[in-house]
Amino acid sequence: MFELHHLSAQEQWDWLRRGEVTPRELTDHYLARIDRLDSGDDGVGAFVAVGADAARDRADALGRAGRSTAPLWGLPLADKDLTDRAGLPTGLGSRLSRGRVPEQDSEISAVLGEAGAVSLGKTATPEFGLTGYTEPVVGPVTRNPWRRDLGAGGSSGGAAAAVAAGLLPFAPGSDGGGSIRIPAAMTGLVGLKPSRGRVPAQSGITSLGGLAVGGPIARTVADAAMLLDAMVSPDGRAPRDHFALRAPGSPDGAWLGTAVRGEGRFQLGVLTASPWDDAYDVRVDPRLLGVLRDTADQLDALGHGVDDASLPGSDPGAPNYPALFRTIWQASAAGIPAETDDDFALLEPMTAWLVRRGRELGARELGAALAGLSAFEQSVIAAFDRFDAVLTPSLALLPPALGWHDADDPERAFEQQCLVSPFTSFVNVAGLPAITLPVAEVDGLPAGVQLIGRPGREDVLLAIGAQLERRLRWQRRHPDCW
């Protein structure tokens, strides 16, 4: 039986524009699915707060104002619970936050509102968004819609689970070390981490090391491009921030057109090594290596050049990436507002460990880490220079079971994250765009590949992704709750 969530986000927008569905009807449809599928012992756990009344009021107001060309007019989405939405608690996945209710929207929430979207609530995230799994003590645990005993990844785990379960057409996420791509890969979705500086409201430029940027999670490449367009240009014209990157040959940053056309032939590299290989016993599941090889063959058949790629060498004196990244990750947690023993008692072990280690760092050590990662960034860009994009596995392992990460041993849990997702964080350090694509299934679970682009070249990633999507038709695959 047909239901509204079976339509892509693009198709839903077209229906809205033609008057075949109203913003209120679409909002009510998704709120009903959230109410039915998200809560309870076996619920998806994608949402930490649902603002049903505010969403209906917003949808009604859009309907009264009349149809608009705003890029997201009438489309439902939800805010990751690291960003503020006026009137809804911002929990940050932590007992420490004490459910602060902001009076104003964060910048990205305001941008999405300007673009015409209807926010249905807040999606779950791990404590302060610091881990690649969404199982916060404060709850809810976010379950993978494909198998409820498995995790959905993180830190945008709630956003990805909501889209995969058909609770939203698409969702904004943020990514400081893989937090869009990890959950998108685990739940069978397209997840795009833009270049540093691409999304004005979440550019990464103001974050430590320039790591964390905002980007879209969607079921199709075109839907991801549609949401990226709105995040960059909420009025449908030029980016509001003159420091934002501009699309190559397209001053208005129209990514949707690139994704729909899906044109071009490119030179691609294939990479199976990660920067964590010397620090931990990283072993890519042979089935996922098979998916990577099959995808490379598909790309070759599409007319792309395919060759082996490699990371910068680990010669003496080369940047020690694992040590440098750990230092920056710890430093990024130092500002979490935990001052007393009572405050620390409210933090999870991983967060408390990161905060304490971060506060032990001296200025010289932090400065050296930033300089080392900058050198690593330059070396990665140089190593990839002969390729238009580099193909890697999205993850080294299939989605782990809930509780698989050792939450009581922060050192071990940090290592486990690297064993699952060794291919993501170095892309943030290099400031490059990357997209995960749900190209296959392995034993009934999603399996993806990652494409890493040149600086500022999201257009190439979207074009290649569209070509693979037309060939592989992954948008037809859904979990049982669909």
Catalytic residue among 179, 195, 233, 332: 179
CA distance 91 to 381: 37
What tokens were used for 214? 């905002």
Contact present, 161 and 183 (Cβ < 8 Å): yes
* Amino acid in the structure at residue 459: D
CA distance 321 to 373: 7
Catalytic residue among 80, 106, 174, 193: 80
Phi/psi class of residue 213: alpha, beta or left (left: φ > 0; alpha: ψ in -120 to 50)? beta
Q: How many CB atoms lie within 10 A of CB 436?
A: 31
Query: Is 193 one of the annotated active-site residues of the chain?
Result: no
The angle that helices 221-232 and 9-18 make with each other, rounded to 10 degrees, is 70
How are beta strands 445-453 and 389-393 bridged, if at all?
antiparallel
CA distance 212 to 204: 5
Phi/psi class of residue 350: alpha, beta or left (left: φ > 0; alpha: ψ in -120 to 50)? alpha
Contact present, 456 and 248 (Cβ < 8 Å): yes
The alpha carbons of the chain give a radius of gyration, in whole angstroms, of 21
CA distance 147 to 135: 15
Q: What is the DSSP string of 322-344?
A: HHHHHHHHHHHHTTSS--SHHHH
* Strands (DSSP E) found in 140-221: 143-144, 147-151, 170-175, 190-193, 213-218
CA distance 101 to 111: 19
Comparing CA positions, the residue from 372, 460, 422 lying closest to residue 192 is 460
Query: Is 374 one of the annotated active-site residues of the chain?
Result: no
State how far Cα 177 lies from the chain centre: 10
CA distance 27 to 31: 6
Query: Is 122 one of the annotated active-site residues of the chain?
Result: no
Catalytic residue among 94, 109, 119, 155: 155
Contacts of 77 (CB under 8 A, 6+ apart): 112, 117, 118, 119, 120, 168, 169, 170, 171, 172, 227
State how far Cα 105 lies from the chain centre: 20
Backbone angles phi and psi of 389, in degrees to 5: -160, 155
CA distance 438 to 300: 18
Active site residues: 80, 155, 179
